[in-house]
Amino acid sequence: MHLPLFLETLRLIDGQWSNLHFHNERLNRTRKSHFGAQTLWDLAELVVVPAIVQKGLYKCRVSYGEMIEKVEFEPYQQRLIQSLCIIHDNTIKYDFKYQDRSHLNHLFAQRGEADDVLIAKNGLITDTSYANIVFWNGEHWLTPDSYLLAGTQRARLLEEKVIFEQKIRAQDLPKYSHARIINSMLDFEMTYNILIANIQ
């Protein structure tokens, strides 16, 4: 039996890691759950940062199973997401950051003219195909408590009380004015707003 491979996608800016504590926590939780690992990894110690990526903004993809399989760096350019297509799928499961994204890719392919999909499961809003999401209600940024993947940026923003969890149904969306997507590569303060009218 082939054990699954997992990913951590980290933000490296001018040679410094972002949210490293949250990446290490998720990685070690995944290793313990799937491989029974008791020792704790620290990605800062395991990943060598080449001199060529010491300046600027880079995405670092760490593929791992029982051991680290591959480390890749690439320059990062934020995708412009202005519209979302709501896709209902009651079978989707992505509670760990698997390397196999075939189910998510299948849903993404159904986005039509939209920039990405917003996945609803059992009537509850979860995530987009590659990010968690938050909604502005005029007072607070709220993120669905029915998320698919516990993102590292999401975890940090919750801990810092920048965002708050809320049960959000697909039919609740008109209560909000706009949304933002959040993931490990995005600076929350610089993330684009998505008008609720552009989520169909």
The reply to whether 88 and 52 lie within a common domain is no
Distance CA 96, CA 34 (A): 10
Domain boundary among 30, 48, 75: 75
The reply to whether 188 and 95 lie within a common domain is yes
The reply to whether 120 and 161 lie within a common domain is yes
Domain boundary among 17, 52, 75: 75
Q: Cβ atoms within 10 A of the Cβ of 131, count?
A: 22
Domain total for the chain?
2
Helix, strand, coil shares, percent, the chain, to 5 = 25, 30, 40
Domain boundary among 36, 58, 75: 75
Tokens of 49: 């940062």
pLDDT attached to residue 2: 63
57-64 and 68-75 strand pairing: antiparallel
Q: Are 94 and 148 in contact (CB under 8 A)?
A: yes
pLDDT, tens only, 23-41: 999 999 999 999 999 999 9
**Residues contacting 79, CB < 8 A, separation 6+:** 115
Distance CA 157, CA 195 (A): 21
pLDDT, tens only, 77-96: 888 899 999 999 999 999 99
Which structural domain range is residue 186 located in? Answer: 84-198
pLDDT attached to residue 188: 84
The reply to whether 89 and 67 lie within a common domain is no
In a domain, 1, yes or no: no
pTM score, whole prediction: 0.91
Give residue 187's pLDDT band: very low, low, confident or very high (50, 70, 90).
confident
